[in-house]
Amino acid sequence: MRRDRLRVAVYSLLLGAVFVAAWQAAVAGGPPGKGLPGPMAVARTAWEMLSDPFYDNGPNDKGIGLQLLSSLGRLALGYVAASVTAVLLGVCLGLSPLLYRAVNPYIQILKPISPLAWMPLFLYTIKDSGWAAVLVIFMSSLWPALANTAFGVATIRRDYLHVAAILQLSWWRRLVTVILPGAAPAVVAGLRISIGSAWVAIVAAEMLIGGTGIGYFVWNEWNNLALTSVIFAILAIGTIGVLLDLGLGRLSRRFAYAE
């Protein structure tokens, strides 16, 4: 097992080195200041940004750390609200096939709608761009968690629910001790999908609302033609996304079980 992990790491590093070398070769020889910047230029920009990531020189000049923290704050608000809503509603739908069939047509209509399509309505109704972005996160996070929770609850062995009924457990105790533990693998899998959807949506939403956030940072740097900053921000977005997925992936492995 350890040898396999080592081989995977070596292959991954080799692929990364080949990609960087090919990138550098593709941009070498081009006129300076024109065309796509190479990895060395991006590395210099990254070093400058990471040397002071939390500076604040005004609305349009903030460090990369502050931009990421702003995005992560919006992500946390929208994602937590959507997760709680999805789990509670998913439990109700999973326990009642009749209710699920009644609600499912509306879910199927709303689920394919891009979260960004809701942005004009949110901006018009609440008139606050920051909270509009949070609601976009809410809409992008809701559906995967809701669908997985409803599926996980619906597939719980009915024997468990019958025993809980025989013991005359209250609904709250039944939820905490039987339903959620039984559906936990499916619930966490849905939450893992939701976090990826939410992180993608917040970047796009912040390009529209302006202010602070990594999405606005990318758009602002593009307007300044600072392509090295844009590429570094893209890499930072990908890194944060991987870390978020790894965290929920580890959580999902803790709840995984074989019957």
CATH number at residue 235: 1.10.3720.10
Confirm whether 29 is domain-assigned: no
Q: What is the pLDDT of residues 209-256, one digit of tens each?
A: 877 889 899 998 888 888 899 999 999 999 999 999 888 888 777 766
Confirm whether 19 is domain-assigned: no
Confirm whether 22 is domain-assigned: no
Contact 165, 103 (CB under 8 A): no
Joined together, the tokens standing for residue 167 give 């013991």
The larger pLDDT score, comparing residue 22 to residue 35, is at: 22
Q: What is the pLDDT of residues 111-166, one digit of tens each?
A: 888 888 898 899 889 888 889 999 999 999 999 999 999 988 888 877 777 777 77
Q: In total, how many domains does the chain have?
A: 1
Torsion of CA 129, 134, 136, 140, to 10 degrees: 170
The larger pLDDT score, comparing residue 146 to residue 6, is at: 146
What is the H or E stretch that residue 13 is in?
Answer: helix 2-27
Confirm whether 97 is domain-assigned: yes
The secondary structure of 67-90, three-state, reads HHHHHHHHHHHHHHHHHHHHHHHH
Residue 8 confidence (pLDDT): 84
Mean predicted lDDT score pLDDT of the chain: 85
Query: How many whole angstroms separate alpha carbon 239 and alpha carbon 217?
Result: 16
Confirm whether 250 is domain-assigned: yes
Query: How many whole angstroms separate alpha carbon 254 and alpha carbon 191?
Result: 14
Its domain, for residue 85, covers: 41-255
Query: How many whole angstroms separate alpha carbon 56 and alpha carbon 192?
Result: 33
Give which of 162, 152, 178 is closest to 256, Cα–Cα. Answer: 152
Confirm whether 15 is domain-assigned: no
Confirm whether 16 is domain-assigned: no
Confirm whether 57 is domain-assigned: yes
Joined together, the tokens standing for residue 8 give 């995977």
Query: Cα 143–123–244 angle (5° rounding)?
Result: 40
Query: How many whole angstroms separate alpha carbon 98 and alpha carbon 106?
Result: 14
Contact 103, 93 (CB under 8 A): yes
Cβ atoms within 10 A of the Cβ of 56, count?
Answer: 10
Q: Which residue is associated with the tokens 């979260």?
A: 115
Q: What percentage of the chain reaches a pLDDT higher than 70?
A: 94
